[in-house]
Structure 1
Amino acid sequence: MRNLVLNWHEDFIVHLASLVRPKVYVELGLYHCALFNRIIPFAEKLIGVDISAESGSYMQQSSKTRFFKGTTQDFAKEVMSNPLKIDMLFIDADHSKEAVLQDFKDFFPFVAPHGLILLHDTHPGNEQMMQPEWCGTAYLAVEELLRETGSSSYELMTIPLSPGLTICRKRQVQLAWQEKA
C-alpha cells in the first residue's frame, strides 16, 4: 500500500498526458521507466534521460522512444545544439534544489508555449522524506521559482500530497489560443 500512496503521481501524469497528448515528452530521471512506458501511447516522441544504463534497459523499445544515457546537463547541451520543442517535461533526476533549478533553467527555453513542466518530490510528507534518496531539497527549488514568477513567463501549482508534484505551465497570456506564435 505504501508504494501506491507514494506513486499516485504516476496515474495523475499518465491521465494528464492522455488529455494533453504531447508531441514531445521528456523525462529526466527514469529509474525503471514505470511512468515513461505508460506515457508511450499518448506522445509522438519520448526521450528518457538517466545516468544509469540499467534504466534504459527497462524502456519499451519503440520508434517513438529514445534513451539518453548521461546527465541532464549532457542532454541539455545536446538540446542546445539540436533544439526541440518539448510539450511535457518531467523533472525527477537529482532531487537537490540546485539540480532541480538547473534542469528547469536549462530546459525552460525549449518548452513549447503552454507546455507543461512537472517537478516531482516537491511536497515531502515529513523530515525523513527530505533525505537525498527520497525528495531531497526539491521543494526549495519551487520556493525559489515562485520568487521569480514576476516575469509572468510561467505559473506554478503544487499538489500538496506527499511526495509532491508541482505543475508549471509556460505562458505569456492566460489563453493558449491568444498566444502569439
Structure 2
Amino acid sequence: MNTIKSAFNKINDYIINLLLRRNKFRDINKITTHLTIQEKYLLYKLSSKTTGIFVEIGSYIGASSCFISEGILTSKKQSKLYCIDTWENQAMTEGLKETYNQFISNTKQYKNIIIPIKDFSYNAIKYFIENNIKIDFLFIDGDHSYEGVKKDWDLYSPLLKPNSIVLFHDIGWAKGVERVINEEVKRNLKKHGSLPNLFWGWIKKVKIN
C-alpha cells in the first residue's frame, strides 16, 4: 500500500512540476522558499477560488505571496493581499537580516494586489480593527512557537468571515502550530485538509470559540 501511495505522490509531483513550468509560474517558482511544489500549487488553487481580503502573516521574501496573488489574478476578482512581516528574519534559521527590498523586488508584478505591512502581527491587528476589515483568507506562517501561533489565532480569528479559509504552515515539525490547530482551530471548522507540512480548513461560524 505504501509503495502505491509513494508512486502516486511521485506522479502527482511530476504533474504539478509541469504546471509550475507554465509562463505565469516560471519566475515565481524560482524564489527561495521552504514551500514544497504541492504547497505552492495548493496556495494558488485555494486563492483562485476565494474572493475578498487575504492576510498572510509571515511573508519572508514573497514566494507564498506570489502564488496567492497569482490565484487572485486567476479569479479575476477585486481582492487584496495584506502581507504582514517585519522583514528582519526573526523567525528564520539563517539569522537576522533585512529582506524587505528582496520581497518588494520578488512581488513587484503583483503590486496592485499586495499591501505590505512592515510590523509584528500583534501590532498590525490594530489596522484591521480600526478600519473594520474582515478576512476571507488567513495564512499563518509567522512565529512558530505555541505562544506566537496562539496569539496570531486569538487576534485574527475574530475577523474571519463565515466560510473563510484559514491555513497554517509547518505543521510537520512545529509542535506549537500543531497544538493550536488541535486545541483551538479544528472545532471552528466545517471541513479541513492537510499536506505533510500544511493545514487548511473552512470556518463554520462567525463567533470563534
Instruction: Give yes or no for TM over 0.5.
Output: yes
Q: TM-score range by the shorter chain?
A: 0.7 to 0.9
Alpha-carbon separation, structure 1, partners of 2:37 and 2:127:
30
- TM norm structure 2: 0.65
Q: Structure 2: any 5+ residue segments left out of the alignment?
A: 1-12, 14-32, 73-78, 88-97
Alpha-carbon separation, structure 2, partners of 1:6 and 1:42:
17
- The residue aligned with 1:24 is 53
- The residue aligned with 1:34 is 63
Q: Which has the larger radius of gyration?
A: 2
**How many residue pairs are counted as aligned between the two chains?**
155
Q: 1:72 to 1:39 in 2, by over 3 A?
A: same
Answering whether residue 203 of structure 2 is matched by residue 170 of structure 1, we say yes
Work out the percentage of aligned pairs sharing the same amino acid.
Answer: 23
Matched AA of 1:54: T
Aligned partners of 1:97 and 1:141 also within 8 Å:
yes
Aligned partners of 2:57 and 2:121 also within 8 Å:
yes
- TM norm structure 1: 0.74
Matched AA of 1:8: Q
**Is the partner of 2:182 in helix, strand or coil?**
helix
Matched AA of 2:144: H
Matched AA of 1:51: T
- The residue aligned with 1:131 is none
Alpha-carbon separation, structure 2, partners of 1:5 and 1:36:
11
1:108 aligns with one of 157, 161, 176: 157
Aligned partners of 2:45 and 2:71 also within 8 Å:
no
- The residue aligned with 2:183 is 144
Q: 1:29 to 1:142 in 2, by over 3 A?
A: same
Aligned partners of 1:121 and 1:138 also within 8 Å:
yes
**Is the partner of 2:117 in helix, strand or coil?**
strand
1:77 aligns with one of 106, 126, 133: 126
Q: In proportion to residue count, which structure has more helix?
A: 2
Alpha-carbon separation, structure 2, partners of 1:167 and 1:81:
27
**Is the partner of 2:150 in helix, strand or coil?**
helix
1:59 aligns with one of 107, 127, 130: 107
Q: 1:22 to 1:30 in 2, by over 3 A?
A: same
Shift of 1:137: 2.5
- The residue aligned with 1:88 is 137
Q: 1:95 to 1:7 in 2, by over 3 A?
A: farther
Shift of 1:71: 0.3
Shift of 1:74: 0.8
Shift of 1:29: 0.2
Matched AA of 2:59: L
Alpha-carbon separation, structure 1, partners of 2:204 and 2:170:
23
Q: Structure 1: any 5+ residue segments left out of the alignment?
A: 125-134, 174-181
- The residue aligned with 1:159 is 194
Q: 1:158 to 1:21 in 2, by over 3 A?
A: closer
The RMSD of aligned alpha carbons is 2.6
Matched AA of 2:99: E
